[in-house]
């Protein structure tokens, strides 16, 4: 009589036990218990440029930067700027130009062993300027001018290029000046340079005397590091002459000067050159003593320096001065000249 009740109770119990046994016997793949690592990548870039023209000068600057982290991330930025100026007044007329461009790139990645994200970054900066007249490196000398370049880069995919140039002619005498630089930097590198020039002449005529004075000066200084390279030149030229014919006697004086420099630098090195020529002459007569006098001077150094493979510099200068004076049958004449040249280079 109890059997049917027993069977009804045992059936459900066996079913539950069998189900539990089946679950216990089922195998679970180990991979299904691992969590999947989160992946992330990021990139950023920025660029800014600026240019200014006026007051006898031209100025340009640019900055670019890029950063990338993780596989699949990349970034790039680039910028450029340029300026042009043509100052002109009653004393000087000239042209000034500057230009610069920068690029920065980055590519992220992952460590082959650990899988950790890797970051790549680069930056590039450039600044160039050209300036004419008394606002340049020699205040007060109309027509003095300069060209400057500053380039710096960091990172494998970084580059900066720049140039600056200026030329001028003084309208009050026969003086001309010019200077120019061109440079670049790539990877981890720097390139810096300054080239300058001035030229001036003056005459001082009087009744019984006269004088002529000329000066020409040019200089250049360059330095580089890593992937930097730069080169340039500067020159100055001037001359003047004067004659005085008073009521008694005659005097004349003349002077001229020129200065030229050039240099280049690459890698870890520097180069510089300077030439400074001064000429001066004067003549006079003494109407009481009935005598004549003449004097002439020409003077100036030329220097060139360098250090590092592939660098070089040169400097050259010339100067001439002459004076004559005469009264009655008394005459005097004088002349002086210099001719300088020097150069250095390292293969």
Structure tokens at 274: 């300077």
User: Whole-model pTM?
Assistant: 0.86
| More confident position, 50 or 8 | 50
In a domain, 41, yes or no: no
46-73 tens-digit pLDDT? 999 999 999 899 999 999 999 999 999 9
The answer to whether residue 34 is domain-embedded is no
Sort strands 176-203 and 145-154 into parallel, antiparallel or unpaired. Answer: antiparallel
What's the pLDDT score for residue 184? Answer: 98
Element (H, E) at 286: strand 269-286
Q: Indicate whether 346 pLDDT > 90.
A: yes
pLDDT of residue 134: 56
What is the model's pLDDT at position 5?
A: 43
Q: Is residue 70 part of a domain?
A: no
SS3 310: coil
Cβ–Cβ under 8 Å, residues 192 and 147: no
Q: How far apart are the first and last CA of the chain?
A: 119
Residue 72 lies in a domain: no
* Residue 3 confidence (pLDDT) above 60: no
Residue 193's contacts (CB-CB under 8 Å, 6 or more residues apart) are 147, 148, 149, 181, 183, 220, 221, 222, 223, 230, 232, 265
Q: Give residue-wise pLDDT tens across range 293-317.
A: 999 999 999 999 999 999 999 999 9
* CB contact at 8 A, 67 and 45: yes
Please name the residue that has the structure tokens 């001065």: 321
User: In the chain, how many domains are there?
Assistant: 1
- 6: pLDDT strictly greater than 70: no
Tell which residue, 131, 128, 49, has the closest CA to residue 85: 131
Residue 8 included in any domain: no
Please report, for residues 136, 169, 256, 298, 335, the alpha-carbon distance to residue 132 in angstroms, rounded to integers and kept in the order given: 6, 10, 22, 27, 33
- At 15 the pLDDT is 46
Host domain of residue 299: 56-63+78-101+123-345
At residue 340, the pLDDT reads 97
Contact 283, 292 (CB under 8 A): yes
The band of 247, judged by pLDDT with boundaries at 50, 70 and 90, is: confident
The pLDDT of residue 96 is 97
> Confidence class of residue 89 from pLDDT cuts 50, 70 and 90?
confident
pLDDT surpassing 60 at residue 81: yes
In a domain, 18, yes or no: no
Residue 46 lies in a domain: no
Residue-by-residue DSSP string for 209-249: EEEEEEEEEEEEEEEEEEEEEEEEEEEEEEEEEEEEE-SS-
pLDDT tens digits along 110-153: 999 998 999 999 999 999 999 997 544 455 577 899 999 999 99
Answer whether 61's CB lies under 8 Å from 22's CB: no
Identify whether 107 is part of a domain: no
């Amino acid at each position: 009589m109890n059997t049917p009740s027993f069977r009804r109770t045992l059936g459900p119990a066996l079913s539950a036990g069998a189900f539990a046994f089946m679950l216990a016997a089922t195998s679970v793949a180990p991979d299904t218990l691992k969590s999947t690592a989160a992946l992330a990548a990021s990139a950023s870039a920025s660029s800014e440029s600026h240019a200014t023209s006026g007051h006898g000068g031209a100025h340009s600057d640019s900055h670019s930067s890029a950063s990338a982290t993780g596989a699949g991330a990349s970034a790039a930025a680039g910028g450029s700027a340029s300026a042009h100026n043509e100052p002109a007044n009653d004393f000087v007329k000239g042209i000034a130009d500057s230009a610069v461009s920068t690029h920065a790139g980055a590519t992220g990645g992952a460590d082959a062993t650990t899988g950790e994200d890797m970051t790549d970054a680069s930056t590039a900066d450039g600044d160039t300027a050209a300036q004419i007249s008394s606002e340049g490196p020699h205040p007060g000398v109309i027509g003095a001018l300069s060209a400057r370049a500053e380039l710096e880069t960091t990172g494998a995919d970084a580059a900066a290029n720049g140039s600056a140039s200026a030329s001028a002619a003084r309208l009050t005498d026969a003086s001309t000046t010019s200077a120019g630089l061109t440079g670049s930097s790539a990877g981890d590198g720097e390139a810096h340079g300054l080239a300058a020039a001035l030229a001036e002449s003056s005459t001082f005529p009087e009744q019984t005397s006269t004088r002529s004075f000329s000066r020409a000066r040019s200089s250049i200084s360059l330095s580089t590091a890593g992937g930097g390279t730069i080169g340039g030149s500067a020159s100055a030229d001037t001359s003047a002459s004067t004659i005085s014919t008073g009521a008694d006697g005659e005097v004349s004086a003349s002077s001229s000067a020129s200065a030229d420099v050039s240099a280049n630098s690459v890698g870890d090195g520097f180069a510089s050159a300077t030439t400074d020529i001064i000429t001066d002459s004067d003549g006079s007569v003494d109407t009481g003593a009935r005598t004549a006098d003449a004097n002439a001077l020409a003077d100036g150094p030329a220097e060139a320096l360098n250090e590092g493979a592939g660098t070089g510099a040169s400097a050259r200068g010339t100067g001439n001065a002459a004076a004559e004076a005469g009264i009655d049958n008394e005459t005097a004449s004088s002349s002086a000249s210099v001719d300088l040249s020097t150069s250095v280079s390292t293969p």
